[in-house]
Amino acid sequence: ASILVLHGPNLNLLGEREPEVYGHTTLHDINARLEEIARERGHHLLSMQSNAEYELVERVQDARHEGVNFILINPAAFTHTSVALRDALAAVAIPFIEIHLSNVHAREEFRQHSFFSDLAVGVICGLGAQGYELGLQAAINQLDQ
């Protein structure tokens, strides 16, 4: 099956961005590891990062026509702001898992609310880069059922 990983704004800076909060692993390393896991288990992984809300919305819209079966998404700051990205995921009705590197519940008040969690199959936060791997394994388990 085809799995799409979407990374929201500022995640291109992973590794150098507040490493005490977000860790030392780069986005390239995360994507490479996910591609390896997907390949080992006979699936195909696509990934995309954007700092622009409309690009993420369009990527989600295109996913339906491409036959994407599952989405892993870290909407980053758009988690707390984007009705547009939420609506795009609802529109395409592709199952998705929401991932955050940091434990958003242990941080500022404005990070406590997500526009995505009630639509998500599941939510992973606070486990750093490992959260993406766990999310991918869960997605593959569902797809293989």
80 is in an annotated binding site: yes
Tell the smallest beta-carbon distance from residue 102 to ligand DQA (Å): 3
Tell the smallest beta-carbon distance from residue 101 to ligand DQA (Å): 4
Q: Site residues for ligand DQA, window 82-111 (CB under 6 A)?
A: 100-102, 104, 111
Identify the residue whose tokens are 């939510």: 123
Of the candidates 22, 65, 105, 132, the residue annotated as catalytic is 22
Instruction: Kindly state the number of chain residues that form the binding site for ligand DQA, as judged by CB under 6 A.
Output: 10
Degrees (nearest 5) of the Cα angle 106, 110, 111?
Answer: 45
The count of residues in the chain is: 145
Do the Cβ atoms of 50 and 59 come closer than 8 Å? yes
Q: Is 22 a catalytic residue?
A: yes
Question: In angstroms, how far apart are the furthest CA atoms of the chain?
Answer: 41
- Residues labelled as active-site residues: 22, 100
